[in-house]
């Protein structure tokens, strides 16, 4: 019996940060497929299935030779195009029909992207528009966590920031988040959740960024983008400075960038970061800010992994959706519709 897919095919997914992928092979399972990534001598990225076509030893255990990789078991040498270049026995003629599946990759916004699906449809223009990561006047950095939960639970988490009051008390959480009304809408292929909190005290995280005391106006605008990205426009401005939901470059503004790449049905790769348009020349502040943000997201990791364990331990129970969950619910509906558009073969198999 076929297993219904939980992620979208014919889409770009983040495989790693630009700094993660180097000349040494990196193993990473993306959407259920074991892959190996490395850079050629010209620094372009190679992506192929992480299995030697001889005895299936992971190629990520292999030895780099120029732009090629040699299996560590019997020495079969595979070129960056996935085609055999040298057989285990040097006296044996090379059989170029021996191949490893390769994948289309691209680099943009400090990320290495891999296309999952029909490679003929791999258009770099379809990479999600994480514009603050590359925009002039902004600085961007972040990190990575392997998270043992369904990637959609992280989407739920990021599209419902009421959890900050309890999960992130002492950094970015405050009671006003629970009290402020939220507005949710679908904007084309995006889901948007907005929250405006005028005349409040800034939480510690934002007070440090603003570098001043006094009441502030705070905003949170969560935006889900297919296949699995969430961008959160956040910040504070001194009350009376004129900031609004539509125009808020009056104080300190950041864009939290999150990309959840499925690994399996209940694990994913979480690439997180923050772009900001203030103190962009202060490298020390960037490093401290990244460390603070990493601590915040580590708290989410603990909660979501516990939630996944509870889901598995209570198979007879279902998740409930309240008013605060509308953003996540609509995002899941959008994911489901996109999966159906790209899995007609699966639907025919079930019929």
Cβ atoms of 202 and 223 closer than 8 Å: no
What span, in angstroms and rounded, lies between the C-alpha atoms of 225 and 227? 6
Question: For 51-61, how does the pLDDT look when each residue is reduced to its tens digit (9 = 90+)?
Answer: 999 999 999 99
Do 76 and 187 sit in the same domain of this protein? no
pTM to 2 decimal places = 0.92
Could you tell me which of 249, 241, 190, 191 has the C-alpha nearest to residue 216? 241
What span, in angstroms and rounded, lies between the C-alpha atoms of 267 and 298? 15
268 in any annotated domain: yes
What span, in angstroms and rounded, lies between the C-alpha atoms of 318 and 225? 25
37 in any annotated domain: yes
3-class DSSP assignment, residue 351: coil
C-alpha distances out from residue 295 to 119, 168, 290, 299, Å = 37, 10, 9, 7
C-alpha distances out from residue 19 to 24, 45, 91, 297, Å = 12, 12, 39, 20
- Using the structure block, give the residue that is written with the tokens 């943000």: 293
Beta 77-78 vs 84-86: how paired, if at all?
antiparallel
Average pLDDT, the chain: 90
Given this model, what pLDDT does residue 346 score?
A: 42
The arithmetic mean of pLDDT across residues 176-181, rounded, is 68
Do 120 and 38 sit in the same domain of this protein? yes
Sequential DSSP letters for 169-192 = BTTTB-THHHHS-EEEEEETTEEE
Distance between alpha carbon 263 and the CA centroid of its chain, in Å?
11
Given this model, what pLDDT does residue 315 score?
A: 94
C-alpha distances out from residue 169 to 134, 173, 233, 251, 254, Å = 31, 5, 20, 23, 19
CATH code of the domain covering residue 187 = 3.90.380.10
Given this model, what pLDDT does residue 60 score?
A: 98
Do 115 and 144 sit in the same domain of this protein? no
* Domain span at 94: 11-124
DSSP state of 264: E
Number of domains in the chain: 2
Question: For 308-346, how does the pLDDT look when each residue is reduced to its tens digit (9 = 90+)?
Answer: 999 999 999 998 887 888 999 999 999 999 999 886 544
Q: Which ranges of 97-150 does DSSP label H, i.e. alpha helix?
A: none
Residue 251 has pLDDT above 80, yes or no: yes
CATH code of the domain covering residue 18 = 2.102.10.10
Do 154 and 242 sit in the same domain of this protein? yes
Cβ atoms of 95 and 78 closer than 8 Å: no
Buried b (16+ CB within 10 A) or exposed e, 12-23: bbbbbbeeebee
Q: Check residues 250 and 261 and name the one with the higher pLDDT.
A: 261
Q: Which residues contact 23 (CB under 8 A, 6 or more apart)?
A: 38, 39, 64
Do 252 and 110 sit in the same domain of this protein? no
Question: For 210-237, how does the pLDDT look when each residue is reduced to its tens digit (9 = 90+)?
Answer: 888 899 999 999 999 999 999 999 999 9
């Amino acid at each position: 019996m076929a297993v219904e897919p939980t992620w979208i095919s014919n889409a770009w997914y983040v495989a790693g940060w630009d700094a993660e992928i180097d000349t040494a092979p990196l193993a990473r399972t993306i959407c259920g497929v074991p892959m190996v990534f490395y850079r050629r001598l010209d620094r372009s990225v190679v992506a192929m299935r992480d299995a030697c076509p001889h005895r299936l030893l992971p190629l990520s255990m292999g030895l780099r030779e120029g732009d090629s990789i040699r299996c560590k078991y019997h020495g079969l040498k595979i070129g960056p195009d996935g085609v055999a270049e040298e057989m285990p026995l040097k006296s044996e003629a090379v059989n170029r029909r021996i191949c490893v599946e390769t994948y289309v990759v691209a680099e943009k916004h400090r990320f290495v992207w891999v296309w999952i699906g029909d490679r003929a449809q791999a258009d770099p223009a379809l990479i999600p528009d994480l514009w603050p990561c590359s925009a002039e006047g902004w600085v961007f950095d972040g990190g990575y966590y392997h998270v043992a939960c369904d990637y959609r639970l992280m989407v739920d988490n990021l599209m419902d920031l009421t959890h900050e009051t309890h999960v992130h008390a002492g950094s970015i959480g405050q009671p006003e988040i629970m009290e402020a009304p939220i507005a949710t809408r679908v904007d084309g292929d995006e889901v948007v959740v907005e929250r405006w909190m005028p005349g409040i005290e800034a939480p510690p995280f934002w007070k440090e960024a603003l570098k001043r005391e006094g009441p502030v106006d705070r905003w949170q605008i969560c935006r889900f983008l297919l296949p699995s990205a969430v961008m959160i426009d956040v910040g504070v401005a001194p009350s009376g400075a004129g900031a609004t939901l539509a125009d808020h470059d009056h104080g300190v503004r950041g864009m939290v960038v999150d990309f959840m790449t499925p690994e399996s049905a209940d694990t994913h790769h979480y690439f997180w970061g923050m772009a900001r348009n203030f103190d962009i020349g202060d490298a020390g502040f960037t490093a401290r800010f990244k460390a603070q943000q990493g601590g915040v997201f580590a708290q989410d990791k603990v909660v979501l992994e516990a939630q996944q364990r509870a889901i598995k331990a209570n198979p007879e129970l279902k998740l409930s959706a309240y008013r605060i969950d509308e953003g996540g619910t609509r995002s899941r509906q959008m994911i489901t519709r996109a999966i159906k558009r790209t899995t007609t073969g699966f639907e025919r198999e079930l019929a």
